[in-house]
Amino acid sequence: MRIIKLSLVMSFTALAFFAQAQEGYQMKPNEKYTEIDFLSSYYAQDGNNAAVTGGVGTEELTDFANIIVVNVPLDSTQSVNATLGLDIYSSASTDNIDNNRSSASVMDARAYGNIGYTKKLLSKGFTYGVRGGFSTEYDYTSINGGINLAKELNNGNTEFAFSAQAFVDSWKTYFPVELRGDVSVPTKSRNSYNAQLTYSQVLNKRLQMSLSVEAIYMDGLLSTPFHRVYFNDQALPDIERLPSTRLKIPLAVRLNYKPNDNLVIRSYYRFYTDDFGINAHTFNLELPYHISDSWTVAPFYRFHTQTGSDYFLPFAEHTSTDEFYTSDYDLSELNSSKFGLGIGYTPLYGLARAKVPFTKKVFMFNSLTLRVSSYTRNTGLSGYAAAIGLNFRF
């Protein structure tokens, strides 16, 4: 809570500083500028199906996440973007790696960063880019790299885009306290590769659509070493065991329709299937409405349903002779719903601005967004989230 308060104090202190220089400056539409986005969010959940304790026990968790995204145009055709993030979270289930009962007292952090370069070949309608990054947490480290390509046709009304990325992860294996010295895993590495093809089309001045297909292949240690599984034919649990490879295929369609100047209807549907036996459908609807030139409200709703994995069974329903097993309810049959509201404020001249000393440049506090949501699923898990976003232009 102290961290959240500190973040808000810093945000409003910055607002007070920039408000000292309210001069009549407006960003020009064709002006090149550095853009900085800051997002801070808080998420809390609870439930009674923790995978760490075999599918029963508290799922209490809190997460305080902070992200900074910077995009710097080098010239009219090139740009560099960078992302830095830090998540600070507590988890009762993680605490239960060593203890049978606990509260949400374990505090951990995840830090990550990515940097990318994009180049546009305007005469050919072609864009390409490369990116790389890292992520580190108490039990794993990860590095990644990727490429993206895009080709515009039909005066920019049609676009084909391709992206590919690879992640190379390394686990630090932590086992449940009662199993240490008695269990092992075949590898401590995990690799993921994904490729996505997207077709986007402007159908008319009010309707746009996109279609995408993606393939994700994973190999290595795909189970979590500190997840317990209990059996119906023996008292001693084992760690979660899953196949060493997994293929995921999501297919998605997105439609954006603008019935009038104030309202946009953003709809999204995704079908997902994998070789763990999960088939899923996800539907998302968001309705941004412009109350005025400065204010926007955006209610949204997301529904997700999936079949259970072939390897999932609840607490103490597995047989110890099975080859693979998990009691992680993320892999169970489930339905979930998420609904919420976003509010955006983007005044014509920004919220505040100030001239940079000894230059002709202007630093603008451009917009402020707030977003709250509630999440429930039929396994008993529920959560809520609140986020604040700040956009700056230099």
pLDDT, one tens digit per residue, over 318-373 is: 999 999 999 999 999 999 999 999 999 999 888 998 888 888 788 899 999 999 99
Lowest mean pLDDT among 5-19, 264-278, 368-382: 5-19
Contact indicator for 70, 34 with CB cutoff of 8 Å: yes
Burial (CB < 10 A; 0-12, 13-18, 19+), residue 326, is buried
Proportion of the chain above pLDDT 90, given as a percent: 77
Task: Please say if the pLDDT value at position 1 is more than 60.
Answer: no
Is 363 buried (19+), middle (13-18) or exposed (0-12) by CB count in 10 A? buried
Residue 267 pLDDT greater than 90, yes or no: yes
The yes-or-no verdict on residue 252 having pLDDT over 90 is yes
Please return the burial class of 360, using the count of CB atoms within 10 Å of its CB with bins 0-12, 13-18 and 19+.
exposed
Give the torsion sign (CA, 24, 29, 33, 38).
positive
Residue 106 has pLDDT above 70, yes or no: no
pTM of the predicted model, to two decimals? 0.88
Domain boundaries of the chain, sorted by first residue? 2-22+35-393
302 within 8 A of 280, measured Cβ to Cβ: no
**Which bin fits 72, alpha (ψ -120 to 50), beta or left (φ > 0)?**
beta
Dihedral angle computed from the Cα positions of residues 87, 367, 204 and 160, in that order, rounded to the nearest 10 degrees: -40
Q: Mean per-residue pLDDT for 169-186?
A: 91
In CATH, what class is 2-22+35-393?
Answer: mainly beta
Closest alpha carbon to 7 in 40, 29, 35: 40
Task: Quickly count: other Cβ atoms within 10 Å of residue 66's Cβ.
Answer: 16
Contact 187, 220 (CB under 8 A): yes
**Greatest CA span in the chain, whole angstroms?**
76
Q: Is 202 exposed, middle or buried (0-12, 13-18, 19+ CB in 10 A)?
A: middle
pLDDT, position 31:
53
pLDDT of residue 5: 40
Tens of pLDDT, residues 180-193: 899 999 999 999 99
Q: What proportions of the chain, in percent to the nearest 5, are helix, strand and coil? A: 10, 55, 35
For residues 98 and 91, give the distance between their C-alpha atoms in angstroms, rounded to a whole number.
Answer: 13
The rounded distance, in Å, linking the Cα atoms of 313 and 333 is 10
- Report the pLDDT value the prediction gives residue 97, as an integer from 0 to 100: 82
Average per-residue pLDDT for the chain: 89
